[in-house]
């Protein structure tokens, strides 16, 4: 069961359309994404580099840049500590290439996902000291690394933190939050409560990019050179699933333009290995094809492979790395499906759906895919989900959580931190570790504190507007493309229409996984509708409602009484030089 909601944000559509020279439909969609003033709407419709904010507005950024600049000029050894995911990969590449361009003596280290866990740790700090490192700069991690950073300072190293994750906090006696920062020389994170940077949703690579912009400026390098890094920053932005609005939208749009013209040997090799050569790379390509391959290295092997792929100048080595990443991702897909099936079986057999927040312990799954499985389970059941498995440490469980909009997972976990070994993340995603003996207590406390209603736990479909199928045109589809790239915070526009009759139905595809419906509009016009969901379930619901005979008539193209309400996206079908309008059906009732 799901609930449909028609968005109804109030705005002067006539004035906005007239001023911006766009349709009222487009204005309505912008308003639904909380883009209501003309300046923001113009920036969204016409994103470009001139609309990026001044990076010097970020708290501590000038202090951090000063430390790195001094290190470069005095030939001090600088070590980057990143993360093992795509955003960490992109952050490392951004800082490494930027500091190298300035003449810095710089290398990088990435924690091993299983052996080290997330973020900088004491082993990494001690090794840095042994290697004669003078400055550590973190990226996409560090904001919660209190003990390792304290150790680095005690050992005489300077530490610069660049991160974007939520700030750790405690509650005082009055129940108010008190935020805690690590004792680094500079802590650069737009989510700091005392940071006045106007855009808070940058990913780790976005923060690293801002840092390099200021460093270039201080080192007398034209800031325009920093834009070449956007192909890496765009990958991190899409794959870390931050909102594709504001600066993130500009970064991804500009980054995609550069990716599609890239000279990076490693990126070209990965595009070839994944079968994307000769095709346009878009946000989907980054998020669902290239990004997972890069992430697979940190999940099942060494994350250094992905970084070295983009740094190498050797064509053969690049192709070897790219093929390895593609192979690792195929392996990752297989073990994910196996683990997912085990978790689903446990949820169903043990009645775990009584929980508001699903906490599932499955010891056989690979630690690195717990987050992927948690995300899949969350989508299946529309419940905040935490999947835990055994770690290398005796008696310790590690896992990841994925949440729904109605539940701040980071805050929920924070309230249980006294029984956790460690944790970190965002409202929508988090990682944690705890003793196995604390598992039951953790699940009970997390659920006891979760203020979720039955309504909260119903999947929600938000429709931009009701739009009769007669209004669909080639011009409208083309205009909607100006809203790309789509992603979190800027989903594909969804339209709704009621009582649409089906003239005929076909099941298509080699695997018979596409349902094609010939839809009859209110004014007697025919238009194709494609549905890629569960066809068997779709047909069973029709039979329950209208009877088997009516469904048979529908398949034969004979007049029938079957009608649907649909949620759809208009699109253009291009085949052998012919173009026709169609709709992609996302939901029905």
Cα–Cα distances in angstroms (integers) from residue 17 to residues 10, 471, 476, in the given order: 14, 17, 14
pLDDT value at residue 561: 93
Pairing of strands 385-390, 358-361: parallel
Please indicate, yes or no, whether the overall pTM of this predicted structure exceeds 0.75. yes
- How far apart are alpha carbons 206 and 224 in whole angstroms? 16
pLDDT value at residue 51: 93
165, burial (CB in 10 Å: exposed 0-12, middle 13-18, buried 19+): buried
Q: Which helix (H) or strand (E) holds 358?
A: strand 358-361
- How far apart are alpha carbons 71 and 69 in whole angstroms? 5
Q: DSSP assignment, residue 286?
A: I
Q: Are 519 and 528 in contact (CB under 8 A)?
A: yes
End-to-end CA distance of the chain: give it in Å, rounded: 10
Of the CATH numbers 1.10.3720.10, 3.40.640.10, 3.10.310.30, 3.30.565.10, which one belongs to the domain with range 350-449? 3.10.310.30
Instruction: Give the closest residue to 484 by CA, choosing from 263, 301, 285, 283.
Output: 283
- How far apart are alpha carbons 531 and 287 in whole angstroms? 22
Instruction: Give the closest residue to 434 by CA, choosing from 447, 421, 425, 446.
Output: 421
Helix (H, G, I), strand (E, B) or coil at 323: helix
Q: Are 144 and 424 in contact (CB under 8 A)?
A: yes
Cβ partners under 8 Å of residue 379, min gap 6: none
Per CATH, the number for 3-8+460-588 is 2.40.50.460
Instruction: Give the closest residue to 70 by CA, choosing from 137, 149, 141.
Output: 137
Q: Are 496 and 564 in contact (CB under 8 A)?
A: no
Per CATH, the number for 57-222 is 3.90.1640.30
Cβ partners under 8 Å of residue 64, min gap 6: 137, 160, 161, 162, 185, 186, 188, 211
Q: Are 461 and 567 in contact (CB under 8 A)?
A: yes
Q: Are 387 and 398 in contact (CB under 8 A)?
A: no
Q: Give the bridge partners for 473, in sequence order.
A: none
- How far apart are alpha carbons 181 and 500 in whole angstroms? 56
pLDDT value at residue 528: 96
- Listing DSSP states for 183-223 in one string gives --SEEE-TTSTT---S-----HHHHHHHHHHHHHHHTT--G
Cβ partners under 8 Å of residue 492, min gap 6: 486, 569
Please report, in tens digits, the pLDDT of each residue of the chain (589 residues total). 799 999 989 999 999 999 999 999 999 999 999 999 898 899 899 999 999 999 999 999 999 999 999 999 999 999 999 999 999 999 999 999 999 999 999 999 999 887 887 899 999 999 999 999 999 999 999 999 999 999 999 999 999 999 999 998 888 888 888 999 999 999 999 999 999 999 999 999 999 999 999 999 999 999 999 999 999 999 999 999 899 999 999 999 999 999 999 999 999 999 999 999 999 999 999 999 999 999 999 888 888 999 999 999 999 999 999 999 999 999 999 999 999 999 999 999 999 999 999 999 999 999 889 999 999 999 999 999 999 999 888 999 999 999 999 999 999 999 999 999 988 878 899 999 999 999 999 999 999 999 999 999 999 999 999 999 999 999 999 999 999 999 989 999 999 999 999 999 999 988 889 999 999 999 999 999 999 999 999 999 999 999 999 999 999 999 999 999 999 999 999 888 889 999 999 999 9
Q: DSSP assignment, residue 287?
A: I
pLDDT value at residue 117: 77
Tokens of 17: 């359309």
Q: How far is CA 158 from the centre of its chain?
A: 32
153, burial (CB in 10 Å: exposed 0-12, middle 13-18, buried 19+): middle
Question: Any idea where the domains of the chain sit in the sequence?
Answer: 3-8+460-588, 57-222, 350-449
Helix (H, G, I), strand (E, B) or coil at 500: strand
């Amino acid at each position: 069961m799901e609930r449909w909601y028609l968005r109804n944000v109030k705005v002067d559509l006539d004035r906005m359309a007239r001023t911006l020279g766009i349709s009222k439909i487009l204005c309505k969609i912008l308003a639904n994404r909380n883009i209501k003033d003309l300046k923001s709407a113009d920036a969204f419709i016409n994103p470009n580099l001139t609309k990026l904010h001044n990076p010097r507005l970020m708290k501590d950024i000038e202090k951090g840049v000063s430390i790195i600049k001094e290190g470069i000029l005095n030939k001090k050894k600088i070590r980057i500590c990143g993360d093992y995911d795509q955003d960490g990969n992109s952050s490392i590449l951004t800082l490494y290439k930027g500091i190298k361009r300035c003449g810095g003596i710089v290398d990088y280290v990435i924690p091993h996902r299983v052996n080290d866990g997330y973020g900088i740790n004491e082993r990494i700090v001690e090794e840095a000291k042994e290697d004669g490192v003078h400055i550590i700069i973190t990226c996409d991690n560090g904001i919660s690394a209190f003990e390792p950073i304290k150790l680095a300072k005690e050992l005489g190293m300077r530490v610069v933190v660049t991160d974007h994750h939520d700030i750790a906090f405690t509650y005082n006696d009055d129940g108010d939050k008190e935020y805690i920062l690590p004792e680094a020389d500079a802590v650069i994170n737009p989510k700091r409560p005392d940071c006045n940077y106007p855009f808070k949703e940058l990913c780790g690579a976005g923060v690293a990019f801002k840092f390099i912009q200021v460093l270039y400026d201080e080192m007398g390098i034209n800031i325009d050179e920093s834009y070449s890094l956007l192909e890496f920053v765009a990958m991190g932005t899409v794959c870390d699933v931050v909102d594709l609005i504001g600066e993130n939208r500009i970064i991804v749009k500009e980054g995609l333009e550069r990716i599609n013209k890239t000279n990076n040997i490693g990126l070209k090799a990965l595009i070839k290995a994944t079968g994307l050569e000769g095709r346009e790379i878009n946000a989907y390509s980054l998020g669902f094809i290239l990004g997972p391959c890069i992430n697979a290295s940190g999940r099942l092997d060494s994350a250094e492979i992905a970084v070295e792929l983009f740094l190498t100048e050797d064509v053969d080595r690049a192709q070897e790395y790219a093929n390895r990443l593609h192979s690792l991702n195929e392996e990752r897909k297989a073990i994910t499906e196996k683990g997912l099936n085990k978790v689903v079986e446990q949820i169903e057999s043990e009645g775990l759906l009584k929980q508001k927040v699903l906490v599932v312990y499955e010891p056989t799954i690979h630690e690195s895919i717990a987050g992927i499985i948690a995300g899949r389970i969350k989508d299946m059941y529309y419940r905040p989900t935490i999947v835990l498995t055994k770690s290398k440490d005796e008696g310790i469980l590690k896992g990841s959580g994925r949440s729904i909009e109605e539940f701040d997972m980071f805050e929920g976990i924070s309230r249980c931190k006294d029984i956790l070994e460690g944790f970190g993340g965002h409202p929508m995603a988090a990682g944690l570790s705890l003793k196995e003996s604390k598992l039951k207590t953790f699940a009970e406390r997390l659920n006891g504190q979760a203020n979720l209603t039955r309504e909260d736990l119903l999947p929600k479909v938000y429709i931009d507007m009701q739009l009769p199928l007669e209004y669909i045109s080639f011009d409208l589809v083309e205009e909607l493309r100006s809203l790309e790239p789509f992603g979190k915070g800027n989903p594909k526009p969804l339209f709704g229409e009621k009582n649409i009759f089906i003239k005929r139905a076909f099941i298509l595809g080699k695997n018979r996984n596409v349902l094609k419906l010939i839809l009859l509009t209110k004014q007697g016009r025919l238009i194709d509708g494609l549905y890629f969901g569960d066809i068997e379930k779709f047909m069973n619901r029709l039979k329950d409602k209208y009877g088997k005979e009516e469904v048979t008539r529908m398949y034969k193209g004979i007049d029938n009484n079957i009608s649907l309400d649909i949620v759809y996206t208009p699109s253009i079908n291009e085949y052998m030089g012919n173009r026709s309008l169609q709709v992609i059906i996302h939901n029905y009732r």
